[in-house]
Every structure is written in structure tokens, then in C-alpha cells.
Amino acid sequence: MKLAIIGATGMVGRKMLEVLHERTLPYDELILVASEKNVGNTIDFEKQEFIIESIDSAIDKKPDIAIFSAGKAISLQYAPKFAEKGCFVIDNSSAWRMENNIKLIVPEINAEIINSNDKIIANPNCSTIQMVMALWPLHKHYELKRVVVSTYQSVTGSGNKGLRQLLSEREGIKNNDAYPHQIDLNCLPHGGDFKQNGYTEEELKLLYETRKIMDICELGVTATVVRVPVKGGHSMAVNAEFVNEPDVSEVRNILSEFPGITVKDMPHSNIYPMPLWAENKDAVFVGRIRKDESCRNAINLWIVADNLRKGAATNAVQIANYLIRSKFV
């Protein structure tokens, strides 16, 4: 079984290698791909030295699975070329997420819809993943009606340049590589480009991707995305309204029993999810679970997850694992 990582030297690509090591994904050959400037360099992984290859060289090797984390433009250009060779492409960019014939997958929720003909599979946006992980089991019990979400997203959601800007500013060096304003000691209500309706790209992803993953075409979702000076881990305040009235104790039990969710909800003991706890972990953490006193059928949730792990690398590796377990490769 040949496995390729496209974008292996990037922030998410390196995290994918960590997850591969931890989860012992079965493969016989690992092909690491990066930009032309990195071709020929080496990466040490699992006591081996891997030479970074070009993407065209990787196509010629006909991998069984290729996990892409190299940006939308690369995915649009090359994912179909890998697919033509019979390779399953798991794409971490936004290139294919809203295409009607492309599956958008969070394995704990909808892996079973994948079939052997799905040569390109989309990995959702990091914030979308952690939100639907918490909402899906509750939807099955109470039937979700509307979601209002505000996110507090770490700078690593903008890749290396976001982290560089934050760290540079903390050293007193001006740097606007990632954001139009200072991010250190600040919050920016700005995630992606602003659209005609006043929403940003990141906010619209939370709307459209959530509807697609949960298969609720008319679900009401409204979002405000805020970038905060946090190194790793996205947080979100979610107000979820249901058709049926939820019981808070039952909600805690439902979430505790769902794979991939960890409930930390003892606020009187100062125990609640935080990015510091979530960083480098695969779980989605949920706390501050409480009734909405203004709406009988609504609850409030505080959801935190590592955006580079479950929000990107881990979810992609889980999809690859599903393909292998299902004997599609």
C-alpha cells in the first residue's frame, strides 16, 4: 500500500506525520511531496530518512492514497490527476468541499457514505469539524433546528504565517504577513475574505459545510469568526436550538458516550475546555453545557479542539484508515 502526503513540510503536513506515527496506519511505501524549492531535501520519520519528491514524481508512482494539504490551487490542479490513476485523494483544502459529487467526511458522523468510486474525498474546515462532532449526537436525540456560533480561532489556522506574525509581534517586530492588523493583544473579527453579504469565507464554511455533513439542507446557521492571539486550538461558543427540548444532564451523557468527544464540565471547580488543554490532542472537548434561559429548546455549549489535529490531520488520517479497513485499497 502506497501512501503519499502532499504538502509534507507544511504545518498540517508535519502534523499528519505525527498522527501517522501514533496511529500506526498500515502502509508499505511512504511518498513525501512538497514544493519545488524543497524537492531533494530530507525528512526524518520513524527512524528513516525520506527524500522529498515532486508532485509529478508522486503521480508516476501511483499511490493508493494521497492526503493533500498544499492549498486550494494545488488540489484543483492535481487531485484529478491522482484520481485518474486510481488513487484515493483526501483533500484538506476548500477546493472540493461543496462540490455535489464530492463527499465531505467526518468519520464519526458519515464515513459510511464513502464508496469505492469516491476517488476525491474532502476534509472539512477545522471549525466545522469540531462543531458538528458535538452537534451530531444531539441532533439524533433532539433534532437540530438552528445554530448560532461565535468562534475564537488560533493563529495556526492561518498556517505558518499566522504563527510568525504573532510571535514577531510579541518580540516587538511589526509583521502583517497574515492579518491586516496586529494580532497580539488583540482580536480580529475577520476570517478569510469578506463577501458581498458582509460574512467572511470562514463564516460561510460553517454554514454550508455543516448542512452538507449533517445532511440538513434547511438548517439555520449563523456565524461570527474571530481570530485570537492563541497559538494552537480553536474555541467556539455555540447556541443550538432543537425541535425537542433537551435535558442538560442527558446532553452531558450523550456527548460523553460519543466517540471523539471529551466532556469537561465542572465550572464551579474551574474545569472547562481551554485551548491549552486541547493542543496536541485528538479529542473535541465540550463544556459550559447549560440551558438557554431565553429559549426553551436551546442549549449553550463551549467547544474546543486542536485545529491542526482533529481539525485537519487526524480527521484526514481517520478517513484513510476507513478506506483501508473497508478494503477499498
pLDDT digits (tens, 9 = 90+) for 45-74: 999 999 999 999 999 999 999 999 999 999
Residues 132 and 69 in one domain: no
Catalytic residue selected from 21, 126, 190, 295: 126
When pLDDT is cut at 50, 70 and 90, the band that residue 254 belongs to is: very high
- Give residue 71's pLDDT: 94
The mean per-residue pLDDT over the stretch 146-155 comes to: 98
Residues 177 and 300 in one domain: yes
**Residue 312: DSSP 8-state:** I
Residues 139 and 246 in one domain: yes
Mean predicted lDDT score pLDDT of the chain: 97
Whether pLDDT at 24 is above 90: no
Residues 89 and 152 in one domain: no
Using left for φ > 0, alpha for ψ between -120 and 50, and beta otherwise, residue 7 falls in: left
Residues 145 and 202 in one domain: yes
List, for residues 221-232, the tens digit of each pLDDT value: 999 999 999 999
Residues 66 and 145 in one domain: no
Catalytic status, residue 295: no
List, for residues 182-213, the tens digit of each pLDDT value: 999 999 999 999 999 999 999 999 999 999 99
Q: How far is CA 240 from the centre of its chain?
A: 20
Q: How many CA atoms lie within 13 A of 277 on its CB side?
A: 16
Q: Is 296 exposed, middle or buried (0-12, 13-18, 19+ CB in 10 A)?
A: exposed
Contact 156, 162 (CB under 8 A): yes
- Give residue 96's pLDDT: 98
Residues 142 and 66 in one domain: no
Residues 151 and 83 in one domain: no
CATH no. for residue 47?
3.40.50.720
Residues 36 and 184 in one domain: no
CATH no. for residue 192?
3.30.360.10
Q: What are the helix and strand counts (H, E) for the chain?
A: 10, 14
φ/ψ (deg, to 5) at 72: -60, -45
Catalytic status, residue 187: no
When pLDDT is cut at 50, 70 and 90, the band that residue 157 belongs to is: very high
Tally the domains of the chain: 2
Catalytic residue selected from 139, 234, 268, 295: 234
Query: Residue 321 sits in which domain range?
Result: 2-123+312-325
Whole-prediction pTM: 0.96
List, for residues 89-140, the tens digit of each pLDDT value: 999 999 999 999 999 999 999 999 999 999 999 999 999 999 999 999 999 9
Residues 150 and 229 in one domain: yes
Residues 94 and 74 in one domain: yes
Residues 167 and 251 in one domain: yes
List, for residues 258-289, the tens digit of each pLDDT value: 999 999 999 999 999 999 999 999 999 999 99
Whether pLDDT at 25 is above 90: no
- Give residue 152's pLDDT: 98
